[in-house]
Amino acid sequence: MTISVDPITFEILSHRLHQITLEMGTTLERVGGTVNTTQLHDYMAALYLPNGDVLSAGECMARHAACAGFAVKRIIERFEKDGGIYPHDIFLLNDPYLAAIHQSDIYMVSPIHYRDQLMGWSATFVHVMDIGAMSPGGNSPGATEICQEGLRIPGLKLVERGRLRQDVFDTLINMTRQPVMVGLDLKCEIAANNVAKARMQEMFEQYGPELIKSVSSEMIRYSESILNKRIQEIPDGLWKDRGAIETDERWNVVLTLRKKGDRLIFDFTGSDLQAKRGINLPYHATFGACFEAVVTTLGYDLPRNQGAFGPIEIVAPEGTVVNVQYPAPVSLNTTSGMKTVQYLSSSVLMQMLATSEKWKKEVMALSLGFRVARHAGVNQYGRYYVSTLLDLCGAGATSYQDGMNTGGYLTAHNVEWIESNFPFLYLFRRQLKDGGGAGKFIGGAGAEAALTVHDAPEGKVKIIAFGVAGLRNSGQGIFGGYPAAPSLLVLLEDTKVRDFVETRKYPEDLADVGGQRRLLPYCEFDLRIDDVLYIRSASGGGYGDPLERDPELVAEDLRNRLISRETAEDVYGVVLDDRSLVPDLAATQGLRKRLREKSSA
Amino acid sequence: MNHPLRENLEVYTDGLGAWIRCTKCSQVLCRLEENWRNICRRTLLPPTKAGPLMKDLVGHFLLEQLYCPGCGALLNTEIVEEKKNGEEGQAK
């Protein structure tokens, strides 16, 4: 039975469903144990219909909300036949060939019953800090097949009718290098799913299940109808882009977007065959990336749900880097293949938006991804650990404003927290100067940090370097805007860093510590006490011609240390008074004219 | 139907068909089905033209810029592989 819903009730209840996903996220952060969950936001919490269709994807990574929907469907298929689905059960799945993206992202899904009737599902994922792979932390640069990448679980019942299966739980955590922390992360997922169940049951009790069902259907219909209308407003066409996943090898990804009426067909035909490195994406992850690109460009103000699936069709040939088949590895994919597919799917959508008078203002410069590292070893308290190093990125500029500096969905860890838990000393961590791509609107600045091993009982820490390892990563400019500074992981070996530490001085310039400088591809190595690890996050790309940027804004960028004096003059063509740093508008006009003539001659 | 194509370019239709033209100077670049990039004035510059932190790209990549052949409006800037450009792969 479907009952009609008045607009006010619809608004209240649809927002209440959204609020439940936010409370699930808060629960993950407060109960979880590792930095990924408690500080970095590397998790997902969402609600689903009884058949696994997305009801509310919350504010988490939409790609995971889509994939977790597939996880619910796989659990239904498996357990309806064998094992049963009962109130207060909680299931676990992390098989990338079924629904997950890579094994470290553990999906937990839980049926939500009301008076013994299945009314829906909740789902979470957290990126656990170890999964028993060949490399600590799970991301395994040396893996050539999935069997080297840790536990792969096609679906099991972790909680049976409300009772934790301790034998299963202990088996799982004992197969990781960090059983206590992984155990905490699994329990935070159980807690978040329990919160979802309790809150949903309160709603069913208060409003009755029929009204909630009607609101759910209306939410999906609403998102789909508005999205379809928006897509129809844009001229039909075909847009292409190509990119590469780069490290010491290279894999090409090709994408053509065909738009006709209210249909968006993302066609990856022509992409390279799957690799024997863990950069490959399963089909559902490629779908999830395109889903995320669509909801963040055309549906950013709409409830994120199955309604956004409707217009999307994916063509991804089997056995390629965008539709991996057994036994190819996947452990590096969220920060490699995923970044490339996210970039390309957003890029073709941006090209499409630019052809619409109404939508062209939404165009934004995009990023090809960033570097990231895991670190593992014995900490200053004598305990083995595994953790993460990454930093805040700058966002791309848009057609009407500068990109945001050092922000983003994935937040960054606190330096003092890192130093007090792990054997590291930061030499500096700061916003990047000259990082953001130049443009009429400048890309947001990323960050840079340098750290060394400190108070490490073994005198070393293992580092696993991954992410987008080619130099053509970071923000890409759009419509004349310049690219941003590349994201880097650099090893400086045999430096003078101990001299700085012993004298309690810190280098202003990284070159001051000396040593042999090496850019890091995908690799695993020991960082030793005389070494320094330098991490530069991605910055945002610029929008439009830098010579059209308001000179007053360039002066402000200089005062805010976002750009250097050289960049103000050489790239932006702005002449500034030496003392006041106020722009000389007449001289600026002349310099810009000369630069324009020189560049385009 | 006329509609924008991207910043500084638009699709323009007349009795002879659909064309891509510059919005700043109205110079027609090519037919809609042709690649407007092939008509642009093109420069290849050292990557450090985009800023001092691009120095790690020197020797591997160049900064390619495309300009309207009519008025010199900047239409595109991107990093391209140096080796792909053959004899053109020399920065100015």
pLDDT, tens digit, 9 for 90 and up, residues A54-103: 999 988 889 999 999 999 999 999 999 999 999 999 999 999 999 999 99
User: Are B54 and A485 an interchain contact pair (Cβ–Cβ within 8 Å)?
Assistant: yes
pLDDT for A588 beyond 50: yes
User: Are A547 and B74 an interchain contact pair (Cβ–Cβ within 8 Å)?
Assistant: yes
Confidence at residue A598, expressed as pLDDT on a 0 to 100 scale: 80
pLDDT for A232 beyond 60: yes
Q: Is A562 on the interface with B (CB under 8 A)?
A: no
Closest among A294, A361, A373, A354 to A533, alpha carbons compared: A373
B50 CB neighbours in chain A (<8 A) are 437-438, 482-483, 571
Q: What is the DSSP letter of A233?
A: H
Confidence of residue A578 (pLDDT cuts 50, 70, 90): very high
User: Are B74 and A545 an interchain contact pair (Cβ–Cβ within 8 Å)?
Assistant: yes
Confidence at residue B83, expressed as pLDDT on a 0 to 100 scale: 73
What's the gap in Å between the CA of B88 and the closest CA on chain A?
15
pLDDT for A141 beyond 90: yes
User: Are B51 and A434 an interchain contact pair (Cβ–Cβ within 8 Å)?
Assistant: yes
B3 CB neighbours in chain A (<8 A) are 235, 355-357
User: Are B49 and A571 an interchain contact pair (Cβ–Cβ within 8 Å)?
Assistant: yes
Q: Among residues 219-238 of chain A, which lie with CB inside 8 Å of chain B?
A: 235
Confidence at residue A496, expressed as pLDDT on a 0 to 100 scale: 96
What's the gap in Å between the CA of B41 and the closest CA on chain A?
7
- The per-residue pLDDT of chain B, averaged, comes to 90
Q: Are A128 and A111 in contact (CB under 8 A)?
A: no
Q: Which residues contact A81 (CB under 8 A, 6 or more apart)?
A: none
- Going across the sheet that includes A90-93, the strands are A54-56, A43-48, A117-127, A105-114, A90-93, A156-160, A163-164
Confidence of residue A1 (pLDDT cuts 50, 70, 90): low
Closest among A209, B14, B9 to B1, alpha carbons compared: B14
Q: Is A580 on the interface with B (CB under 8 A)?
A: no
pLDDT for A167 beyond 90: yes
User: Are A471 and B61 an interchain contact pair (Cβ–Cβ within 8 Å)?
Assistant: yes
Confidence of residue A390 (pLDDT cuts 50, 70, 90): confident
What's the gap in Å between the CA of B5 and the closest CA on chain A?
4
User: What percentage of residues in chain A have a pLDDT greater than 70?
Assistant: 99
pLDDT for B85 beyond 60: no
Please give the structure tokens belonging to residue A406.
């050092």
User: Are B74 and A434 an interchain contact pair (Cβ–Cβ within 8 Å)?
Assistant: no
Confidence of residue A217 (pLDDT cuts 50, 70, 90): very high
Confidence at residue B92, expressed as pLDDT on a 0 to 100 scale: 43
State how far the alpha carbon of B50 is from the alpha carbons of A42, A303, A543, A564, B57, in Å: 32, 39, 13, 12, 11
Of the listed ranges A198-202, A306-310, B53-57, the least confidently predicted one is: A306-310
The torsion region of residue A542 among left (phi > 0), alpha (psi -120 to 50) and beta comes to beta
Angle at B56 between CA B55 and CA B58, to 5 degrees: 70
Confidence of residue A247 (pLDDT cuts 50, 70, 90): confident
Three-state DSSP class for residue A166: helix
Q: Which residue of B has its CA nearest to A562?
A: B51
Q: Which residues contact A316 (CB under 8 A, 6 or more apart)?
A: A268, A271, A283, A286, A322, A323
Q: Are A33 and A16 in contact (CB under 8 A)?
A: no
User: What percentage of residues in chain A have a pLDDT greater than 90?
Assistant: 91
Three-state DSSP class for residue A301: coil
Confidence at residue A249, expressed as pLDDT on a 0 to 100 scale: 86
Q: Which residues contact A275 (CB under 8 A, 6 or more apart)?
A: A245, A249, A251, A321, A328
B13 CB neighbours in chain A (<8 A) are none
Task: Read off the pLDDT of each residue in A388-405 and give the average, rounded to a whole number.
Answer: 94
State how far the alpha carbon of A327 is from the alpha carbons of A87, A324, A333, in Å: 35, 8, 14
Q: Are A397 and A365 in contact (CB under 8 A)?
A: yes
pTM reported for the whole predicted model: 0.94
pLDDT for B84 beyond 80: no
User: Are B1 and A547 an interchain contact pair (Cβ–Cβ within 8 Å)?
Assistant: no
In whole angstroms, what is the distance from residue A436 CA to residue A402 CA?
10
What's the gap in Å between the CA of B81 and the closest CA on chain A?
9
Q: Is A360 on the interface with B (CB under 8 A)?
A: yes
Question: Any bridge partners for residue A46, and if so which?
Answer: A123
Of the listed ranges A190-199, A327-336, A406-415, the least confidently predicted one is: A406-415
